[in-house]
């Protein structure tokens, strides 16, 4: 058959089986997503900067909603990736949900470190930044107490802050997929074994740790799922625009990493992953020993059942060492990221946090 005109091509296309047409359509749409589609907008809940220090910004979220709860809430994120995962898109944002529930919400954004920040230690963030942010939140909200939510490594850092500052007026702590016990860290334990991973050589050579290195290590926990899975899913489900929207949002965040200050990274790997000092009561921050039993405030501790970054047993271990009388552990049927973004987050995580906090915020 000779094809010489658009009409001939159209007739030929009509003879192609429908499943081939559908496959071609999905492949074409996936190619558009990867090459020509605009990047999605993120972090859309209105906010204002109320305090800065170095690269760090403290945001207060602005809303016309009346404040229903007396205690403000400060969110503390990790030193890895960017915090807009907590406010990824309208209708799928923990920040937006809590603001709409009448909470006065603040977020501590560490910013993007440069090479000049290579000597920043966990000590600096925990002893110099978080306490000042807490005081600014209290002053701005005109409240006598506040609550803090720490996500991932941000929760681990918050627990250290809490243990070292039992005098500060923080009534409630929420820890979300935050590791505390590093005895069994799965494949991380093999990757970071001090016999094979020379942390001093890494930090002394690089100064600050590039985000690509952090991202590669995380993805190697499940290499097929993490390296190829997203693109297989995109091609398979490219006829679903709702899926494409979520895919683009999540992939933007995953790829939007930030450098890790070298000295803080040295501490994070050596003191936590290699020596498990926090849960043992051996961690020292700027000359002060960290004892988690000093935590007496109300605690909600959330893990994700399918989390391979902060495994449930690493999260739950906190419950045995703190002195809080009001403490609750909840395991969410989700993964490390889907605990805060996606259908399970909207249906389970958000209401769980809001409901627990509302009872303790007046």
Q: Tell me the catalytic residues.
A: 152, 307, 336
DSSP-based three-state secondary structure for 52: strand
Beta-carbon contacts of residue 238 (< 8 Å; ≥ 6 apart): 25, 26, 27, 29, 30, 33, 244
DSSP-based three-state secondary structure for 65: coil
The 10 Å CB-count burial string (b at 16+, else e) for 329-358 is: eeebebbbbbbbbbebbbebbbebbbebbb
User: Which residue reads 């051996």 in tokens?
Assistant: 282
User: Which residue reads 């490390």 in tokens?
Assistant: 336
What is the rounded CA–CA span in Å between residue 333 and residue 207?
38
For the beta carbon of residue 196, count every other beta carbon within 10 angstroms: 8
Residue 201's φ and ψ, nearest 5 degrees, are -65, -40
DSSP-based three-state secondary structure for 167: coil
Distances (CA, A) of 333 to 1, 23, 181, 340: 56, 32, 21, 11
């Amino acid at each position: 058959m000779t094809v010489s005109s658009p009409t001939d091509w159209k007739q030929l296309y009509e003879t192609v089986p429908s499943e081939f047409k559908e496959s071609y359509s999905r492949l074409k749409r996936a190619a558009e997503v990867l090459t020509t589609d605009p990047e999605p907008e993120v972090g859309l809940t209105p906010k204002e900067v109320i305090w800065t220090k170095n690269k760090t910004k403290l945001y207060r979220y602005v809303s016309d909603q009346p404040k229903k709860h007396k205690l403000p809430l400060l969110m503390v994120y990790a030193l890895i990736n960017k915090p807009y995962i907590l406010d990824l898109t309208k209708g799928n944002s923990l920040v937006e949900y809590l603001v709409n529930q009448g909470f006065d919400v603040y977020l501590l954004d560490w910013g993007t470190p440069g090479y000049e920040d290579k000597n920043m230690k966990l000590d600096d963030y925990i002893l110099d930044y978080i306490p000042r942010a807490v005081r600014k939140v209290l002053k701005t909200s005109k409240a006598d107490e506040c609550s803090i939510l720490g996500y991932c490594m941000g929760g681990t850092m918050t627990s250290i802050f809490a243990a070292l500052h039992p005098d500060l007026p923080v009534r409630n702590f929420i820890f979300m997929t935050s590791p505390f016990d590093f005895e069994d860290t799965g494949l991380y334990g093999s990757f970071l074994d001090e016999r094979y991973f020379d942390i001093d050589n890494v930090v002394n050579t690089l100064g600050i740790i590039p985000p690509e290195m952090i991202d590669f290590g995380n993805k190697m926990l499940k290499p097929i799922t993490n390296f190829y899975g997203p693109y297989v899913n995109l091609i398979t489900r490219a006829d679903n625009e709702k899926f494409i929207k979520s895919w683009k949002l999540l992939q933007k965040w995953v790829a939007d990493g930030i450098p890790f200050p070298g000295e803080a990274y040295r501490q994070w790997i050596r003191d936590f992953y290699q020596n498990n000092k926090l849960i043992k009561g051996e961690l020292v921050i700027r000359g002060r020993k960290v004892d988690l039993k000093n935590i007496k405030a109300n605690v909600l501790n959330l893990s994700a059942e399918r989390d391979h970054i902060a495994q449930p047993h690493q999260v739950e271990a906190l419950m045995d060492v703190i002195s809080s009388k009001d403490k609750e552990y909840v395991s969410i049927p989700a993964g490390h990221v889907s605990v805060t973004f996606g259908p399970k987050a909207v249906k389970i995580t958000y209401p769980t946090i809001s409901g627990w906090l509302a009872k303790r915020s007046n």
